[in-house]
Amino acid sequence: MTAMKANERQARLLKRTSIDFRSTEQIVDAPFILSRAKGLYYWDIHGKRYFDAIGGIFVASLGHGHPRVLDAMRQQMDRLSFAPPMHGIADVTLDFIERLGEVTPGNLNFVKPFSGGSESIEAAMKFTRQYFKQTGHPEKYKFVSRYQGYHGGTFGAMAASGTGRRKTPFEPQMSGFLKVFSPTYYRDRFATWEECNRFCARMFEDVIVSEDPRTVAGVIVEPIGNTGGTVTPTDEYFHILREICDTYDVLLIFDEIITGYARTGNMFAAQTFGVTPDILCGGKGLSSGAIPLGAMIAREDLGDAFYGSEAAEVNFAHGHTFAGNPLASAVGIAVIDEIVENDLARRAGELGDYLVDGLRRLEKLGVVREIRGKGLLRGVELMRDGKACPQLGVALKRTAMEHGLVMRIDPLWFAVAPALISTEADIDELCGLVEQSIVAALQVIDA
Ligand SMILES: Cc1ncc(COP(=O)(O)O)c(C=O)c1O
């Protein structure tokens, strides 16, 4: 079951590139080189099958190679595959803007499509700053986000991220970005989870007030934070954030790049938590992985501030060559239609409960501290003998791959987010593979 080392050519080529946040030496030692994927499975170049328990990386929402998605792209390819972004827009991109607006909460109807999550976050922050500049509040420019949050790899998105040592190589960071702690980080200091959430939500207010609210433009949070270990606040937490943002005229920005498109039991986590942000950023599952796609979706009335004459230079001063790509737009529509027509949001809620039951069965191994998340986005915090045990997660990274299981492992926790098209039998298979991988990891650390 052990992974095959890279051959001489593969090792040479792997050294000429880099795998995200991974040591190339480790990759050369146990390379995962894929040749195809279908539904919930990948096959590597040796023909070994892997269960994709994380949808790539929260991307393949409808599974890999979904026929409706691929058909939509093929048909669009024959008509128009590129539209000039400084001259106009594809008809299908207008359709995409309309379709996305139909499934977002509130009046989140101003849609600027992009090619991924970081671009959408960058755009949201630029949109926010420009909005305040041209509506009489040029001094509003700061953003408050969370430690352990991740909003992307570009400089602005990185500045909003709270990923500690991952950011150190690129310091100094951009100024004007402030951080607070997430409820999970502080939970042991409070008698109840609710109390902890209230305190952590109020910390945003403390920072905004201390900074001078006249200088604060936006609050950026992932409704369920991945890098902090599937951080899942209470509904009340988001209601408090909404109230604080309204009080101090600060825009509330939800990073729904992981949580969007039915993952948490509703089309967006905003609906799951019952709070509508001013701007919502999407990416990942919006294309089910068929093509790069993201979107910044703002309140329509905020978008109105960017409507004006050419002479007055009123426009959103931002764009990317491949943003609003017609193929990506066709794919986005197909993904949304498939989710809506098959009620996959409701399905994610139901199947999510089934997944939690399956993950609870791991408790007998004595390694589960907490199971978090909503719908088909679940994280398990690991422990051993009642304490954090990073060695277990490190071993699990290897044993999971050996068992043909792809999931996100921190190493203090792991996360799973199977495709929305999964069946109960798929969830059983996933949970079985997780259990076998953990048992093998325990054997490794006890050896
Ligand atoms: C919550 C969140 N926001 C933003 C991003 C950045 O998206 P992308 O990698 O598509 O630029 C990611 C990517 O992992 C993410 O998980």
Q: What pLDDT, in 10s, does the model give residues 137-189? A: 999 999 999 999 999 999 999 999 999 899 999 999 999 999 999 999 999 99
**Average pLDDT for 333-339:** 98
- Length of the chain counted residue by residue: 447
Residues 92 and 208 in one domain: yes
Q: Is the pLDDT of residue 320 over 70?
A: yes
The pLDDT value given to residue 378: 98
Query: Which residue blocks in 162-192 are alpha helix, DSSP H?
Result: 183-186
Q: Let me know whether 329 and 314 are in one domain.
A: yes
Q: Do 286 and 366 have their domain in common?
A: no
Distance 117 CA to ligand 1 centre (A): 5
Q: Which residues, 6 or more positions from 147, have their beta carbon under 8 angstroms from its beta carbon?
A: 162, 164, 179, 180, 181, 182, 185, 228
* Cα 264 from Cα 346, distance rounded (Å): 9
Mutational test site, ligand 1, from 145, 150, 220, max ligand atoms within 8 Å of CB:
150
45 and 105 inside one domain: no
The reply to whether 311 and 178 lie within a common domain is yes
Q: Work out the angle at residue 284's Cα, subtended by the Cα atoms of residues 159 and 431, and round it to the nearest 5 degrees.
A: 110
The answer, yes or no, to whether any atom of ligand 1 lies below 6 A from the CB of 117, is yes
Q: Are residues 289 and 326 in the same domain?
A: yes
Domain identity same for 278 and 325: yes
Q: 294 CA to middle of ligand 1, Å?
A: 10
| pTM summary value | 0.97
Quote the pLDDT of residue 337. 98
| Rounded percentage of the chain residues whose pLDDT exceeds 90 | 96
In a domain, 359, yes or no: yes
* Residue 287 Cβ < 6 Å to ligand 1: no
The predicted model gives 413-429 an average pLDDT of 98
Q: Report which residue type is found at 80.
A: L
- For helices 390-402 and 424-446, the axis angle rounded to 10 degrees is 120
> Does 389 reside within a domain?
yes
- Assess whether the C-beta atom of 222 lies below 6 angstroms from ligand 1: yes
**pLDDT score for 140:** 98
pLDDT in the model for residue 1: 59
pLDDT at 312: 87
Q: What is the CATH classification number for the domain harbouring 328? A: 3.40.640.10
Cα separation, 123 vs 118, whole angstroms: 8
pLDDT (0 to 100) of residue 4: 84
- Indicate whether residue 272 lines ligand 1 (CB < 6 A): no
DSSP state, residue 33 = -
Q: Is residue 304 part of a domain?
A: yes
Domain edge (last residue) among 341, 359, 385: 341
pLDDT tens digit string along 272-305?
A: 999 999 999 999 999 999 999 999 999 999 999 9
The overall average pLDDT reported for the chain is: 96
Q: Residue 218's beta-bridge partner residues?
A: 143, 251
Q: Are residues 214 and 133 in the same domain?
A: yes
pLDDT digits (tens, 9 = 90+) for 69-79: 999 999 999 99
Residue 253 — φ and ψ, nearest 5°? -115, 120
For residue 366, the domain's CATH number is 3.90.1150.10
Helix (H) or strand (E) holding 128: helix 117-134
Please give the DSSP secondary-structure letter assigned to residue 139.
T
| Ligand 1 mutation pick, 57, 151, 224, 293, max ligand atoms within 8 A of CB | 151
In this structure, the answer to whether residues 216 and 330 fall within a common structural domain is yes
pLDDT confidence of residue 382: 97
Q: Provide the domain limits for residue 329.
A: 67-341
pLDDT for 368:
96
Q: Is residue 295 part of a domain?
A: yes
**How many structural domains does the chain have?**
2
Residue 430 has what pLDDT? 98
The pLDDT value recorded for residue 313 is: 84
Predicted confidence band of residue 2 (pLDDT cuts 50, 70, 90): low
